[in-house]
A and B are shown apart, each in its own frame.
Chain A
Amino acid sequence: MRRRMRGIAVSAIALTSVLSMAACAKDTGGSSNAGSGNTAGDGCTLAAAPPAAPATSSSDDASAKVDGSALKVGLAYDIGGRGDASFNDSAAAGLDKAVAELGVKKENVKELTAAPNEAEDAKQTRLRQLAGEGFSPIIGVGFAYAESFKVIAPEFPDTKFGIVDATVEGAPNVTPLVFAEEQGSFLAGVIAAYQSKSCHVGFIGGVETPLIGKFQAGFDQGAKKAAPEIQIEDKYLTPAGDFSGFQDPAKGQEAAKGQIDSGADVLYHAAGASGKGVFSAAKEADVKAIGVDSDQYNQETVSNEKDVIVSSMLKRVDVAVFDYIEAVAANNLSSLPAVFDLKVDGVGYSTSGGKIDDKLKTVLEGYKAQIISGEITVSATP
Chain B
Amino acid sequence: MSTTSTNPSTAPLTVPPAKRKRKLPGWSTAMIGVAGAIVLLSTTSYLTGFPQLTSTGTWQTALRLALPILLAGLGGLWAERAGVVNIGLEGMMIMGTWGAAWAGYQWGPWAALVSAAVFGALGGLLHAIATVTFGVNHIVSGVAINLLGAGLTKYLSTLIFYPLSNNPRESPAVPKFDTYSAAGLSDWLGDLEAQQRVGISDVAGILRGITTGVSPLTMIAIVLVPATFLVLWRTRFGLRLRSCGENPVAAESLGVNVYLYKYTAVIISGALAGIGGAALVLNPGQPGYLEGQTGGRGYIGLAAMIFGNWRPGGLLGGAALFGYVDGLQLRSGGKTVLALFYGAVLLLAVIVVVQLVRKKWFSAAFAIVGAAILYFVYFSLDELPSELTAYAPHLVTLVVLAVASQRLRAPAADGVIYRRGQGD
Contact residues of A with B, CB < 8 Å?
1, 7-8, 10-11, 14-15, 17-18, 21-31, 34-35, 79-85, 115-116, 208, 235-240, 242, 244, 247-255, 257-259, 261-262, 273, 276-277, 280-281, 284, 300-302, 304
Contacts and interface: CB of A to CB of B under 8 A. Distances in A.
B332 interface: yes
Q: Interface majority SS on A: helix, strand, loop or mixed?
A: helix
Contacts of A34: 49-52
A35 B52 CA distance: 10
Contacts of A8: 357
Q: Interface majority SS on B: helix, strand, loop or mixed?
A: helix
22 contacts: A1-B1, A18-B352, A18-B353, A23-B47, A29-B50, A30-B332, A34-B52, A81-B169, A83-B167, A83-B170, A84-B167, A84-B169, A115-B292, A239-B386, A240-B387, A248-B293, A261-B331, A262-B52, A262-B332, A276-B286, A300-B166, A301-B170
A250 B57 contact: no
4 nearest CB pairs, A to B:
A258-B331, A83-B167, A253-B285, A29-B49
A252 B44 CA distance: 27
A366 B356 CA distance: 70
Given A249-B286, A252-B285, A254-B61, A244 B333 contact: no
Contacts of B200: none
A80 B390 contact: no
A244 B293 CA distance: 8
B249 interface: no
A11 B14 CA distance: 34
Contacts of B332: 30, 258, 262
Given A18-B352, A30-B339, 19 more contacts: A1-B1, A15-B353, A18-B350, A22-B43, A29-B339, A30-B332, A116-B291, A237-B390, A247-B293, A247-B295, A249-B285, A249-B286, A257-B57, A257-B61, A258-B331, A258-B333, A261-B331, A301-B165, A301-B287
Contacts, number: 169
Nearest to B1: A1
Interface in B308-355: 327, 330-333, 335-336, 339, 342, 345-346, 349-350, 352-353
Contact of A25 (B47, B51, B290, B335): B47
B386 A253 contact: no
Contacts of A262: 52, 332
B276 to A, nearest CB: 13
Contacts of B1: 1
Contact of B285 (A14, A79, A237, A277): A277
B127 interface: no
Nearest to B332: A258
Nearest to B292: A116
B374 to A, nearest CB: 12
Given A250-B283, A255-B330, A276-B286, A11 B357 contact: yes
A301 B169 CA distance: 12
Contacts of B335: 30
Contacts of A261: 52, 55, 57, 331
Nearest to B56: A261
B346 A208 contact: no
Given A18-B346, A237-B330, A250-B283, A30 B336 contact: yes
> Taking each of A21, A22, A25, which has the highest tally of chain B beta carbons within 10 Å of its own beta carbon?
A25
A7 to B, nearest CB: 6
B345 to A, nearest CB: 7
Given A254-B61, A258-B331, A22 B339 contact: no
B302 interface: no
A14 B359 CA distance: 13
A249 B290 contact: yes
A254 B330 contact: yes
Given A236-B386, A242-B390, A250-B64, A257 B331 contact: yes
Contacts of A115: 292
B173 interface: yes
B284 A284 contact: yes
A169 B115 CA distance: 51
Nearest to B61: A254
B280 interface: yes
Contact of A250 (B48, B285, B336): B285
B199 interface: no
B338 to A, nearest CB: 9
Contacts of A240: 387
A83 B290 CA distance: 12
Contacts of A14: 349, 352-353, 356
Given A26-B379, A235-B333, A258-B331, A80 B169 contact: yes
> Taking each of B50, B162, B330, which has the highest tally of chain A beta carbons within 10 Å of its own beta carbon?
B330
B166 to A, nearest CB: 6
B116 interface: no
B168 interface: yes
A75 B316 CA distance: 46
A309 to B, nearest CB: 15
A21 B346 contact: yes
Given A236-B386, A255-B331, A83 B57 contact: no
A208 B333 CA distance: 13
